Amino acid sequence: MEEMEILRREIDEIDEQLVMLFEKRMELVRKIGDIKRQKGMEITDSQREEYVIKKALEKLNDKGLSEELEMFFRNLISISKKIQSDNMK
């Protein structure tokens, strides 16, 4: 098996894990959205969003990927807010 095929299989395995983690995160996002709705809270919590991004960046070993990781988390947060907003309708 050639090296590229081996690497692609590793990526496939990671992608499977990402899908499972994504579903788990969105499940928790929905629960938090329910709590926010019950308490009359806004969906957006800018302080929390910045904390989540800062915390992720601190854990990043390859600091050359900081911009991409921040973009990843900003997109993830945007999707999370959409899920919460859709659930509030």
Model confidence pLDDT, tens digit, residues 21-73: 999 999 999 999 999 999 999 999 999 999 999 999 999 999 999 999 999 99
Give the C-alpha separation, 37 to 43, whole Å: 8
pLDDT value at residue 88 = 77
Which of the following CATH numbers is that of domain 3-87: 3.10.129.10, 1.20.59.10, 3.40.50.880, 1.20.1430.10?
1.20.59.10
Give the C-alpha separation, 18 to 16, whole Å: 5
pLDDT value at residue 11 = 98
pLDDT value at residue 1 = 73
